[in-house]
Structure 1
Amino acid sequence: MAELTFSATILNVNDDNATRYLTTRTLRLAGYRVLEAANGEEALRLAAQERPDVVVLDVKLPDISGYDVCQRLRSQPHTASIAVMHTSATFVTPDKKVRGLEGGADAYLTEPFEGEELIATVRSLLRMRRAEQDLRRRAEHLTEADRRKDLFLAMLAHELRNPLAAITTAAGILERRAPADPKDARMVSIIQRQTNHLARLVDDLLDVSRLTRGKVELRQARVDLRGVLEQVLTVFRPQAEGRQLKLESSLPAVPMWMEADSTRLVQVFTNLLDNALKYTDAGGTLTVTAERLLSEDGSASARVRVKDTGIGIRPEILPSVFELFSQADESLERTRGGLGIGLTLVHNLVEMHGGRVEAHSDGPGRGSEFVVWLPLQPQAVDAEQEVVLPELVKRRRHILLVEDNTDARQALQDLLETWGHRVEVAADGLRGLELAVQRTPEVALVDIGLPGLDGYRMAEELRAKIGRGIRLVALTGYGGTDDHTRAREAGFDLHLVKPVKPDDLSRLLSEL
């Protein structure tokens, strides 16, 4: 046991000189370094100064009790992890032992005790303390590794989104031109689909990391769930047709109002439909149905079913289908693709909205069904309020584009000019600030990671120089909640995460 004793320090606290001497001699013969204290205040001072591994602490001391000494050791971060062994020749009743142990002591010995019993107890406490230290070090390493992972994922997303933004914008320009060859149109369509798929994978990867750490915040507003489903279905119909799948839907004739984050709801049903699409072969059918339900207490909820005729889910996999990295297709060839995180996102986001989601399947080859329940606002709200959506006003704008990535800047400039906007560009924050002050554009699309003067500083300088006379839109690869908050605090009106789809950008410019 020598490895447990050669470096350990023991603080022996006892006001009885003879007992203190015998205890110290026993511990030193066992190879320990021993410090001594005759009262509680001296014990606290030595504990804070020397940081012993174990304190052998008599309960009855002349100034303060051993119970109080132990509690004060536990209350201070720098002494809280020291192992404490109470000793007593008088306070030996069960209730006194319980008081000592509940007060923070790790062991209790009744005097007089044998030397072997003392040494065995000290060794046990040292093993326990070192096990705790190992666990603490591992926890610290895991915390640091988690921090580095989050930093890496944020940087990875930023680095991936810049080229994705350039590709998406360039493909958007090509899509609006009449192709010279039918093959060109097919190639552009492939580029768009695969770029959108990559962008979704990047977003899902970051979102699941933030969700597992509780760092996703919902931006709730009054949302029509029916409108969200229609939006998702509009996006997926061409994809289903391209895969030779039938996409059927049955939605209510009236709005389904709820308090929700519309972006996150789109993400939920996009992931469910993407999952159904991925696991259903050509000739199959995807079905989306939604209905309003009323409970006995008068509360309303929505039940949305996403059903497919695909490969189904094996019974042994079904209970864990919402767990991280769970895959229905576990074959070596991995023909269905995916990261196994989409359904985890669905489950967490639905629960954050106060709902629940279930998965059903009759087994392999018999399709799957995912059912989502979400709380709705009372029907009376729908009858009282009529929302009129304004027509999008198309108009030419004077736009400043500040982007240091050459390809992304050129592609976005070409796209904006194709729409008839007047565009000026800058490759760094200082030049962007100069142009904004001199030319007073209506809108500035500003990358955050700029050389010289980053996007946040540029926004702050612009607000200080020209106030609210310009609309500032942040275009960035960083999409965390903290990034949105920081952009808003710097003076940006909107925060968009790359790659921005051309249709979304066109709508944004029309609605400003």
Structure 2
Amino acid sequence: MAEQRLATVLNVNDDDANRYLVNRILEMSGYHVLEAATGMAALLMAEKHRPDVIVLDVKLPDISGYEVCARLRSNASTASIAVMHTSATFVTPDKKVQGLEGGADAYLTQPYEPSELIATVRSLLRLRHAEQQARLRTDQLIEMDRRKDEFLAMLGHELRNPLAAIMTSIGILERKGTADTREARMHGIIQRQTHHLARLVDDLLDVSRITRGKVELRKEPLDLVESFQQVLSILRPRVEGRGLKLEVRLPRTPLWMEADATRLEQVFTNLLDNAAKYTDQGTVTVDLFQEGVDGDAQAVLRVKDTGIGIPPEKLPGVFDLFSQVDTSLERSRGGLGIGLTLVRTLVRMHGGSVEATSEGYGAGSEFVVKLPLLPPERVPRLAGANVVDTRRARRILVVEDNADARQSMRDLLELWGHQVAVAQDGVQGVALALEHAPDLALVNIGLPGVDGYQVAAALRAGVGQHLRLVALTGHDEPGAYEQALKAGFDLHLTKPVRPADLDRVLSNL
């Protein structure tokens, strides 16, 4: 075989006659042979020549073959070389175990037949070839995974920019209103489908990072009731638009927990959207309430539907990635099969649990989420007491290179009564800020030339600390939030920014 003739074997033995005999056997079988008489010489030759196999006698004049093998394995450059121990004396089982446990791949005791030596070398070469192929494949998969992450990050940026412009424009149309019923209906369709598309983009980009633990939660005290109501205001038209009845029972008092508001909204959105998607007619029922008291208190969210249900064989895997109840060719339900995976992962990251139950096809399904609540001594006491009127006119600077996103943001802010200056790049943005001294600057991170981080540093140095800086980005990579704060931003928002979220930012200035 060609790989055998080209293979190199290092023969390590201090007995000249024995070493010569083994050399001849290997050479006659087509191998290139190197030799060494001591353990230290063997280590040097292994480092220099990187043989495919080392035939290593256990008893050497300087250090034992066991020690040589251990040093080979501890060195990254020689760790993958196949090692076969040999011994000219009777070897007890415990010595073989010591050699194999120490890193050897095979162990032969002399006298042995030449055919046994060659067969063992061939076996080790096959093993080494398989390991090399596996290592190569692993390296290829790692590189493919890296490129996939880069592609998804760029995809997110490219998709979120047009979505940002569309979503902001929808906000303007909603504020202006229309007396035309058909036009109002079209506005509603555009709004629902844009929000749906934005959620699919977020889920697609998040699932890889979240399932690998590459997302850090930005936790702060949060009222679950208020957070769920915000989701409900967006999803109610979508649910009822499918001809379904939506029954919601919420507590009259807040339910406070430490959570990432964006991620919890993802959980709520996926659960409600999932219930509506798999229900052709009937009712989606939502109950949010508290169980337990004080330190053991937890919030319980139940989302129940009268939909197609989940068959028993699919219930255990309903939270698995790409798992879907509807596997028919027409795929009339839509979706990517990743929403419930995100729900389970995000709930667990918040210290909670989620489970699904169903009596089978046609019997509907129920999802129950449990989340830990803050103890009474940690509940915010002044939350919501100092809300600023967003109608107060402010000087706002928008630095955005995407023309549609820049114009739609300007139109929305001016519709709200603010004075707005816009810049298409960082240099122009810094110049306008120094000239007009805005109260707030909305700065896109991915600007050409001078990026958003550099703009933030220049604005902090030139305008001062009173200026409120908000970072806008289509790249939602791990560490982006911390990097934005370090650069001088006060807030970090991921595109597309919903008008309601922008309104909240202005309220909390």
Quickly name the TM-score band, shorter chain normalised.
over 0.9
Alignment of 1:455 with 2:452, yes or no, is: yes
Asked if the contact 2:387/2:507 (under 8 Å) is kept, the reply is no
Seen in structure 2, the aligned counterparts of structure 1 residues 264 and 130 have a Cα distance that, compared at 3 Å, is same
Q: 1:300 aligns with which of 280, 297, 300?
A: 297
Question: Match of 1:335?
Answer: 332
The CA distance in 2 between the partners of 1:56 and 1:246, in whole Å, is: 77
Mark the CA change 1:372 to 1:388 in structure 2 (over 3 Å): closer, same or farther: same
Moved over 6 A (4+): none
Q: State the alpha-carbon separation in 2 of the partners of residues 241 and 444 from structure 1.
A: 38
- Contact 1:84–1:107 at 8 Å: present in 2 too? yes
Q: Is the 8 A contact 2:198 2:496 kept in 1?
A: yes
1:313 aligns with 310
State the TM-score, normalizing by the size of structure 1: 0.95
Q: 3-state DSSP class of the match of 1:130?
A: helix
How far residue 280 of structure 1 moved from its aligned partner, in angstroms, is: 1.3
Paired residue type of 2:430: L
- 1:506 and 2:506 matched: no
Contact kept in structure 2, 1:447 and 1:476, CA below 8 Å: yes
CA distance in 2, matches of 1:73, 1:465: 59
Partner of 2:146: 147
Q: Which of 270, 286, 289 in structure 1 is aligned with 2:284?
A: 286
Cα shift at 1:221: 2.2
Letter in 1 for 2:490: D
**Could you tell me how far apart the structure 2 residues matched to 1:199 and 1:358 are?**
26
Closer, same or farther: CA 134–272 of 1 in aligned 2, 3 Å: same
| CA distance in 2 between partners of 1:44 and 1:319 (Å) | 54
Counterpart code for 2:408: A
> For 2:381 and 2:400, how far apart are their aligned partners in 1?
43
TM-score, L = length of structure 2: 0.96
The aligned counterpart of 1:277 is 276
1:108 CA drift (Å):
0.7
CA displacement, residues 350-392 of structure 1 (integer Å, 9 cap, x when unaligned): 111222211111112211111112223345655x956454333
Equivalent position amino acid for 1:506 in 2:
D
Q: Per-residue displacement from partner, 1:215-244 (whole Å, max 9, x unpaired)? A: 011122222333333333333223233222
Secondary structure of 2:470's counterpart equals: strand
Taking the TM superposition and a 5 Å limit, the aligned residue runs for 1:361-372 are 361-372=358-369
- TM-aligned CA deviation for residue 180 of structure 1: 5.0
State the Cα distance separating 1:175 from its structure 2 match.
Answer: 1.6
Counterparts of 2:447 and 2:220 in 1: how far apart (Å)? Answer: 33
Q: Is this contact kept in 1: 2:472–2:493, CA < 8 A?
A: yes
- Aligned amino acid, residue 387 of structure 2: E
Distance in 2 (CA, whole Å) between partners of 1:321 and 1:441 is 50
Per the alignment, in what secondary structure is the counterpart of residue 386 of structure 2?
A: coil
Tell me: CA distance 1:452–1:387, structure 2 relative to 1, closer, same or farther (3 Å).
closer
Q: Is the 8 A contact 1:312 1:364 kept in 2?
A: yes
Amino acid aligned to 2:287: T
- Confirm or deny that 1:479 pairs with 2:476: yes
Indicate whether 1:392 and 2:388 are aligned: yes
> Could you tell me which of 367, 374, 377 is aligned with 2:374?
377
- Please tell me the residue identity of whatever aligns with 1:291: F
2:366 alignment partner, SS class:
strand
CA distance in 2, matches of 1:454, 1:407: 19
Question: Does the aligned pair in 1 maintain the 2:387–2:508 contact within 8 Å?
Answer: no
Distance 1:508 1:294 in 2: 34
1:86-144 C-alpha deviation (Å, 9 max, x unpaired): 11123611111111111111111111211111111111111111111111111110000
Partner Cα separation in structure 2 for residue 34 and residue 176 of structure 1 = 83
Q: Does 1:415 pair with 2:412?
A: yes
Say whether 1:354 aligns with 2:336: no
- Give the conservation status (yes or no) of the 8 Å contact 2:298–2:373: yes
Whether contact under 8 Å (1:322, 1:344) holds in the other structure is yes
Question: 1:199 and 1:137 mapped to 2: Cα distance?
Answer: 38
Aligned to 2:435: 438
Asked if 1 retains the 8 angstrom alpha-carbon contact of 2:295 and 2:374, the reply is no
Where 2:60 maps in the other structure, the secondary structure is coil
The 8 Å contact of residues 4 and 123 in structure 1, kept in 2 or not, is answered as no
Partner of 1:25: 24
CA distance in 1, matches of 2:235, 2:369: 19
Give 1:399's aligned amino acid. Answer: I
**Are the aligned partners of 1:393 and 1:511 in contact in 2 as well (CA < 8 Å)?**
no
- Mapping of 1:9-408 within 5 angstroms? 9-90=8-89, 92-282=91-281, 284-294=282-292, 299-378=296-375, 385=381, 387-394=383-390, 395-408=392-405
**Distance between the aligned counterparts of 1:9 and 1:181, measured in 2?**
84
Contact 1:392–1:507 (CA under 8 A) maintained in structure 2:
no
Deviation track 1:244-269 (CA, whole Å, cap 9, x = no partner) reads: 22211223343333232222112111
1: CA distance, partners of 2:474 / 2:10: 56
- C-alpha displacement at 1:459, in angstroms? 1.4
Percent sequence identity is 65
Q: Which amino acid aligns with 1:94?
A: P
Instruction: Note the residue ranges of structure 2 that are not aligned, 5 or more in a row.
Output: none
SS of equivalent residue, structure 1 residue 481: coil
CA contact (8 A) 1:229 1:266 kept: yes
Code of the residue aligned with 2:197 in structure 1: it is L
